[in-house]
Amino acid sequence: MKKSILYLSAICILVACSTMKTAELSQQDVDKVKPLYPNYTLAELKEGKTLYSEKCTLCHSLKNPTSESSKKWPHIVAEMTNMANEKTLTISPKQEDLIIKYLVTMTTTSK
């Protein structure tokens, strides 16, 4: 009985941590790229992050969003999308766009 409570609280802590990570994204991040993406929303930023962790882990581990410059990301993501689509791991143009915006936002806000 005691053990199961322990497990349960461990799971709760894990869940709390993972939700905290997505909560790190804020309206402030969106505001920083307003000049680039005038109609960008926080929901789109979060969706981009989710897509990034889903789609960009199909062939290799997740790269650090700040490992490349905001200028380079669109080219890299386009290249990766082509490679994925060749292997029928489909990344749609809409998803590609959200991933690029997420990565560009992360590189822009980290400076």
Tell me which residues touch ligand HEC (CB under 6 A): 55-56, 58-60, 63, 68, 76-77, 80-81, 83-84, 87, 89, 99
Q: Residue 60 has what DSSP assignment?
A: S
Nearer to ligand HEC, 33 or 51 (CB): 51
Hey, what's the torsion of the CAs at 90, 92, 95, 99, to 10 degrees? Answer: 70
Provide, rounded to whole angstroms, the least separation between the CB of residue 41 and ligand HEC. Answer: 20
Q: Nearest to residue 74, comparing CAs of 45, 47, 102?
A: 102
Nearer to ligand HEC, 10 or 78 (CB): 78
Alpha-carbon torsion 63, 80, 36, 68, what sign? positive
Nearer to ligand HEC, 46 or 63 (CB): 63
